[in-house]
Structure 1
Amino acid sequence: MALQHIIPQLPPDFPLPILIAQHMPPYFTGSLAERLNEMSRIRVVEGSDGEMVTPGKAILAPGGRHMKVVRAGDNCVIKLLRRIEGIIYVPSVDVLMKSAVKAYGGKLVGVILTGMGDDGLEGMRRIKESGGITIAQDEESCVVFGMPKACIEAGIIDEVLSLDEIPRRLVEIAAGRPRI
């Protein structure tokens, strides 16, 4: 699994929050968050309503719920939704990414990983248009290349990287290093 390869490679002092939407049914995301937390040097939790988004913490959208990030004064918090009309993927990558653009503007790095369909395409487009950085997992390291392929073909990806390269690049970006 791509997340199990990326998240554990991030250093304990990783200075950015991480928001994750993975297409999974209810009851599976809690155990995934626990497993990732045990394997990782950063804190990994399943998202809950009103949870504060903080640096060095990864928040995984709960299965069967959409997760948004919203501004609350100077902070950002998680908002969970049961249904959004017309959205078939739950949790939706697009819903999460679009909300992140509203909350953070262009100060985002969007990473699209292996998966079926084109969920994430519109969210990545918004990140790119806002001035954020967009990264897609390469075809060679994907189990299913659908989601990254849709974004690459749309011309909205800054960097196409392998699973091994993604965590290193995230650390570089967080440290303020320019693009390769």
Structure 2
Amino acid sequence: MSARSISPRPRVLIVDDSALMRALLKRMLAADGDIDVVGAACDAEEARALIPKLSPDVITLDVELPGMNGITFLERLMRSRPMPVIIVSSHTVSGASATIQALQAGALDVVAKPARRSDMEGFASALRDKVRGARHARLPGFRPAPSTPSAIRPTASAHGRRLIAIGASTGGVGAISSVLAQLPADMPPIVITQHMPPGYLERLAHRLAHQLSRDVAPAEEGEVLAPGMIRLAPSDRHLTVSGRAPHYRVRLSDGPPVSGHRPSVDVLFNSVAQSAGSDALGVLMTGMGRDGAAGLKAMRDAGAYCIGQSRDSCVVYGMPRAAAELGAVDEEIDLDEIAQKIVSVVTLPLISQAAK
């Protein structure tokens, strides 16, 4: 992890090519009086010059920059001077695609630029909250996720776990990408809830499908989950699982936010606990807050094997910590070891696991 001195108040550097947006972001960030905007840059070159002079705690970054694009800037920053970066992205298709690439490259989180004036207040509040949380983030040394599945191979067993449920928030895009890239293709179906603003989860699924050459897609109402499938909760909808093994089925809901989120990890995990019980494996990864902790406890109480990402490998040790405090975790594991553990658990007969 990178050691950083943290200021009493977050020191923010804004990087955006629009003078109007730079001024707007500065005003929004300073509104509550507990965040200091120490500088603003119109492109990557100016930002690179300002960083050593200003020593910001957090950078807000528009990835669509003139000259050196935001992705190249971010990748170089993560290699030379890792620090929390929050993407402030447009709603365009190109903006969403670049944002997903940035999150895989080490950016911490994303806030979508408001499309309407009525969205301004919510955008400003979300941005301030993410900046406050970001300055305490732990930054693992960035290693790109493998572009092809690793050599981890399962030993087929008719008696192992037949459903995998994963939840994550801040820092989760890179963590989930890394784990999925290490898993073999012939795994049980995997269902995932990742907190992201509307419109980005679909681009994440598309990018993962392309990178991994796997059946990765946003979940669709009523589809039957089959081995090899990876399904993500779609934007602004809860993902749940119904049915009984081996015929698990996707259900989607427009219900109210749970644990402050829609989609919610708690909603997914609670449904898996009810439908799959001991047939499931749950993984709760990096993220702020508590979403997923209670749901993981329900899964463990129902007989599922439950993994929490370790403190030292989390960008934000919030959700896994809350789960550990509830007694919801069988073991905490470093990010680099989660894929291997998943393979060993889903392929080991349940009677052997119960005997341990």
TM-score, normalization: structure 1?
A: 0.92
Q: Deviations over 1:149-177 (max 9, x none)?
A: 10112222111111110000111112216
- 1:70 deviates by 1.2
1:121 corresponds in structure 2 to: 293
- Alignment partner of 1:90: what SS? coil
2:304 corresponds in structure 1 to: 132
Whether contact under 8 Å (1:10, 1:42) holds in the other structure is no
Question: Are 1:20 and 2:187 an aligned pair?
Answer: no
- Alignment partner of 2:243: what SS? strand
Q: How does 1:5-154 map to 2 (within 5 A)?
A: 5-14=178-187, 16-40=188-212, 42-71=214-243, 75-84=247-256, 87-154=259-326
Percent identical pairs in the alignment equals 37
Q: Deviations over 1:111-136 (max 9, x none)?
A: 00001110001111111101111100
Take 1:13 and 1:30, find their aligned partners in 2: how far apart are those partners? 23
C-alpha change, 1:70 and 1:143, in structure 2 (3 Å) is same
Q: Deviations over 1:62-87 (max 9, x none)?
A: 12111111118962211111123655
Specify the code of the residue in structure 1 equivalent to 2:283. V
Unaligned runs of at least 5 residues, structure 2? 1-173
- Alignment partner of 1:35: what SS? helix
Whether contact under 8 Å (1:112, 1:120) holds in the other structure is yes
Name the structure with the higher helix share: 2
1:168 corresponds in structure 2 to: 340
State the number of aligned residues: 179
Whether contact under 8 Å (1:24, 1:90) holds in the other structure is no
Q: Deviations over 1:39-79 (max 9, x none)?
A: 22542111111121111211100121111111189622111
Specify the code of the residue in structure 1 equivalent to 2:238. H
Unaligned runs of at least 5 residues, structure 1? none
Specify the code of the residue in structure 1 equivalent to 2:276. Y
TM-score, normalization: structure 2?
A: 0.48
Whether contact under 8 Å (2:294, 2:326) holds in the other structure is no
C-alpha change, 1:86 and 1:46, in structure 2 (3 Å) is closer
- Alignment partner of 1:39: what SS? helix
Whether contact under 8 Å (2:284, 2:292) holds in the other structure is yes
Whether contact under 8 Å (2:256, 2:262) holds in the other structure is no
Structure 1 segments, 4+ long, off by >3 Å, are 177-180
Take 2:257 and 2:325, find their aligned partners in 1: how far apart are those partners? 27
